[in-house]
């Protein structure tokens, strides 16, 4: 079938919206009609060339939600008409990692996914007979996409898809960092660095876990106001003195849990240094640039602080994303506040511009 999609032709250049050919789903695969897709920082990160694992030409996009149109042989968990959220982090439920509660990093199709291919080592996207690679196994900057069944979460059809799509990446990453990775304890003190999509999700996750004090740090007063709406009890504008300010707020000890959601290695260091001596846990959610490193003075670790990484918030997507969507429908998570701009597919590059200008939290492409 012919589809329109946003193609990354070369790094640093705008995406080109063009006609492509999309082949039918093969065994274990699903054809999804996209209804909505968030424009995420990871898409911009790859498009810019900063991602050392990036490739082109490819159809970007991974924060999608849509409706199942057709399924390939052997597909049992979803059927035509089902509403789904796309998962760049699949869950096969069978590999060693899927069967272990300690990680969500499914091993089933990792190698093929990293090469821009579907599980059989080929692509369903092409242009004039030449393959176009899939991005993160999803490629949701497109009217339709073909994906593995294990990379789709079936959700309640009552959930608006222009809200549900945010659970495909940013929102679930923040929620999961607090709820799965850090396992924030009730009555604790938390600090979240960064009030973008992931950071605001982390604030909400800390609230849902029963944290007593949630401090959010960002450079934008507007974003800090949104953090209060998600459950932050304290906010302040970040900078070089952020660590000392947190120590002053916590009797000189630091916070029980800190979360870094900016991708800035200097802020990552602040997250470590503002974690409480004795048991403080600093969770890293942000993606740093190519070649950047995090410097930690060993004394901070020797005196009891720990550092954890969190990919997609430790969320096992097929199981937990539907639960998050149900929490949204129940009123426990305010998703409406995150959708700042509605765009058409032809305006996808505008989404990148708004992100770079820090205008709003999330631009959502509406395919309706």
Q: What is the pLDDT of residue 274?
A: 98
Is-catalytic flag, 169?
yes
Q: Which of 134, 207, 223, 362 is catalytic?
A: 362
- Is 165 annotated as catalytic? no
Q: How far apart are CA 41 and CA 342, in angstroms?
A: 16
Task: Respond yes or no: is residue 95 known to be catalytic.
Answer: yes
Q: Which of 37, 92, 165, 216 is catalytic?
A: 92
pLDDT in tens, 26-61: 999 999 999 999 999 899 989 988 887 889 999 999
- The answer to whether 165 and 36 have CB atoms below 8 angstroms apart is yes
Please enumerate in sequence order all residues whose Cβ is within 8 A of that of 13, keeping only pairs 6 or more positions apart, or say none.
none
Note if 216 is an active site residue. Answer: no
pLDDT for position 49: 84
How is residue 233 annotated by DSSP?
S
Catalytic residue flag (residue 92): yes
Structure tokens at 93: 């439920």
Give yes or no: 76 in active site: no
Output b/e per residue, 44-68; b: 16+ Cβ within 10 A: bbbbbebbeebebbbbbbbbbbbbb
Residue 190 annotated to the active site: no
pLDDT < 50 stretches in the chain: none
* Confidence at residue 216, expressed as pLDDT on a 0 to 100 scale: 98
356 is catalytic: no
Concerning whether 285 is annotated as a catalytic residue, the answer is no
Give the SS3 label for residue 132. strand
Instruction: Give me the catalytic one of 110, 127, 306, 350.
Output: 110
Q: Bridge partners of 342?
A: 364
Burial level of 86, CB count in 10 A (0-12/13-18/19+)?
buried
Catalytic residue, candidates 37, 83, 106, 190: 106
Which pLDDT value is given to residue 226?
A: 96
pLDDT of residue 51: 80
Report how far residue 36's alpha carbon sits from residue 169's, in angstroms, rounded to the nearest whole number.
Answer: 13
Tell me the C-alpha distance between 258 and 101, whole Å: 22
């Amino acid at each position: 079938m012919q589809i329109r999609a946003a193609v990354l032709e070369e790094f640093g250049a705008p995406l080109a919206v063009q006609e492509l050919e999309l082949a039918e789903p093969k065994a274990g695969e699903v054809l999804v009609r996209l209804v909505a897709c968030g424009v995420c920082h990871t898409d911009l990160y790859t498009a810019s060339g900063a991602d050392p694992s990036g490739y082109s030409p490819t159809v970007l996009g991974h924060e999608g939600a849509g409706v199942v149109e057709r399924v390939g042989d052997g597909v049992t968990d979803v059927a035509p008409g089902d509403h789904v959220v796309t998962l760049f982090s699949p869950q096969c439920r069978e590999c060693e990692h899927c069967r272990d509660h300690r990680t969500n990093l499914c091993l089933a199709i990792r190698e093929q996914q990293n090469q821009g291919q579907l599980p059989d080592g080929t692509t369903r996207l092409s242009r004039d007979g030449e393959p176009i690679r899939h991005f993160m196994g999803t490629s949701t900057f497109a009217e339709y996409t073909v994906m593995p069944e294990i990379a789709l979460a079936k959700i309640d059809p009552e959930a608006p898809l222009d809200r549900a799509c945010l659970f495909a990446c940013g929102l679930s990453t923040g929620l999961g960092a607090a709820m799965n990775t850090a396992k924030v304890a009730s009555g604790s003190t938390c600090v979240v660095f960064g009030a973008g999509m992931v950071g605001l999700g982390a604030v909400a996750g800390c609230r849902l876990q029963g944290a007593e004090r949630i401090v959010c740090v960002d450079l934008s007063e507007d974003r800090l106001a949104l953090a209060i709406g998600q459950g932050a009890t304290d906010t302040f504008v970040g900078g070089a003195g952020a660590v000392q300010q947190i120590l002053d707020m916590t009797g000189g000890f630091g916070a029980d849990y800190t979360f870094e959601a900016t991708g800035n290695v200097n802020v990552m260091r602040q997250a470590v240094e503002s974690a409480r001596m004795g048991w403080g846990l600093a969770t890293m959610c942000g993606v740093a640039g190519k070649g950047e490193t995090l410097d930690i003075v060993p004394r901070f670790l020797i005196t009891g602080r720990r550092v954890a990484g969190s990919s997609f918030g430790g969320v096992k997507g097929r199981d937990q994303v539907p639960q998050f969507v149900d929490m949204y429908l129940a009123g426990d998570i305010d998703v409406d506040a995150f959708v700042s701009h509605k765009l058409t597919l032809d305006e996808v590059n505008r989404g990148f511009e708004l992100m770079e200008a820090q205008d709003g939290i999330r631009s959502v492409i509406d395919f309706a």
